[in-house]
Amino acid sequence: MNATALEQEHIRPALTHLSDEEELFRSSIREFAEGEVRPRVEKMEHDGKLDKDLIEQCFDLGLMAIETPEEYGGAGSSFFNAILAIEELARIDASTSVFVDVQNTLVTNAIIRWANDDLKKKYLPEMATEKVGAYALSEAGSGSDAFALKTRAVDKGDFWEITGQKLWITNGNEAEIFIVFATIDPASGYKGITAFIVEKDFEGFAVGKKEDKLGIRASSTTELILDNCKVPKENVLGEIGKGYKVSIETLNEGRIGIGAQMVGIAQGAYEAALKYTAEREQFGQAINSFQGVQFQLAEMAIDLEAARLLVYNAARLKDAGKSFLKEAAMAKVYSSRVAEKISSKAIELFGGYGYVKDYPVEKYWRDSKIGAIYEGTSNMQLQTIAKLITSGK
């Protein structure tokens, strides 16, 4: 056995088990999710927005700055703990989960990695205590073809002037700090793309309509309108013309967050099905005493455990500083399939009750569908996986 194999053999157990500290962290998030999120889910779903008090609690508990270094007011914790939080919140409510997810795995993550010291000192403490972030890449004509964006940034000497429209922006209504991608030179293709930190009150910036969605309805998904928006020269995130690197590398990590969200959804649906099948009686006995139902529950348990291990593996690799691109793509594809499959099966196990809003499983199914779409569609993930495995990586 060579050194690499020995190293992998040594690492592997740690990829699939939680330490005592991680178990304690998970328990604290579950307590918060059960005690504070669950009682608000129905109203938030009906109103189509997150509860303001719940948002404040997410900040108070440090959930909005899990990886942020302590010197900037954050918890200074691991990426893996962020993944645990996202999973536990999604078990109760996917909208709350993605709210925390975007803040941690996309916006804060990008600032920690790419911002200079001045930008870190300015924005990280605010995002740790009170200000929500959003990540603005997508446009009407640039979804999977992310670098076909039309939003333009023009150097005006003392400032950058950005004009364009962004679509599908998660946390759009709540956010005050946005990472906006624009091109400084369309002729340069992806090499002209630059990332900017834009504040909500900058001149020329506006939040447009909120989308009326199938699932994650309490999560705001909006358009952004930049009309000659004036952005200070110092608010370039990373290097000019290197925005493509910021977006690619940040989204690679964000996909593990989406995987965790899907695992949480699947877990919530699975638990609901377990409970219902133990209580529902037909032919004089609980329906979980029938082998046909037992086998379906067993299949759900297998799929759920496999998805969780894929997500945890990708997160562990990221924290260990190892390559995780393939593993993140695999985790996102598989977990999104599992979340949709398990929540759909839960509806069937509930029978007619599963199809009405008085019971929780139809919401889990609606919330699951987005997993195969945002932060890189399943087809794009399959393309990434295929390129890596055919090149021997």
Question: For the segment 358-384, what is each residue's pLDDT rounded down to a tens digit?
Answer: 999 999 999 999 999 999 999 999 999
Question: Which two structure tokens, joined as six digits, stand for 353?
Answer: 């009750």
199 and 73 together in one domain: no
Among 14, 35, 150, which Cα is nearest to 96's? 35
121 and 157 together in one domain: no
pLDDT value for 74: 98
- Using the predicted structure, report yes or no on whether residue 14 has a pLDDT greater than 60: no
Work out the average pLDDT over 83-100: 98
146 with 247: CB under 8 angstroms? yes
* Phi, psi for 357 (deg, rounded to 5): -80, -5
Q: What is the CATH number of the domain that holds 303?
A: 1.20.140.10
pLDDT value for 345: 98
161 and 139 together in one domain: yes
Three-state SS for 275?
Answer: helix
Work out the average pLDDT over 96-119: 98
pLDDT value for 393: 75
Q: What is the CATH number of the domain that holds 140?
A: 2.40.110.10
pLDDT tens for residues 125-134? 999 999 999 9
- Using the predicted structure, report yes or no on whether residue 66 has a pLDDT greater than 70: yes
Of 241, 270, 296, the last residue of a domain is: 241
Of 96, 114, 132, the last residue of a domain is: 132
Measured in whole angstroms, the distance separating CA 252 from the mean position of its chain's CA atoms is: 11
274 and 220 together in one domain: no
69 and 95 together in one domain: yes
118 and 173 together in one domain: no
Measured between alpha carbons, how far is 101 from 106 in angstroms, rounded to an integer?
8
Work out the average pLDDT over 382-393: 94
222 and 301 together in one domain: no
pLDDT value for 308: 98
Work out the average pLDDT over 311-328: 97
pLDDT tens for residues 219-230? 999 999 999 999
Residue pointed to by tokens 């928006």: 229
Specify burial of residue 329 (Cβ count, 10 A radius: 0-12, 13-18, 19+). Answer: buried
pLDDT tens for residues 187-220? 999 999 999 999 999 999 999 999 999 999 999 9
Residues annotated as part of the active site? 375
What is the total count of domains within the chain? 3
- Using the predicted structure, report yes or no on whether residue 232 has a pLDDT greater than 60: yes
Which residues, including other chains, have CB under 8 Å from residue 239's CB and lie 6 or more apart? none
pLDDT tens for residues 253-295? 999 999 999 999 999 999 999 999 999 999 999 999 999 999 9
95 and 126 together in one domain: yes
Bridge-based pairing of strands 132-136 and 175-183 is: parallel
- Using the predicted structure, report yes or no on whether residue 8 has a pLDDT greater than 50: no
| Domain carrying residue 199 | 134-241
- Using the predicted structure, report yes or no on whether residue 16 has a pLDDT greater than 90: no
295 and 163 together in one domain: no
331 and 264 together in one domain: yes
pLDDT value for 100: 98
pLDDT tens for residues 19-34? 999 999 999 999 999 9
44 and 125 together in one domain: yes
pLDDT value for 13: 40
Please tell me the least confidently modeled range out of 45-54, 60-69, 116-125, 144-153. 144-153
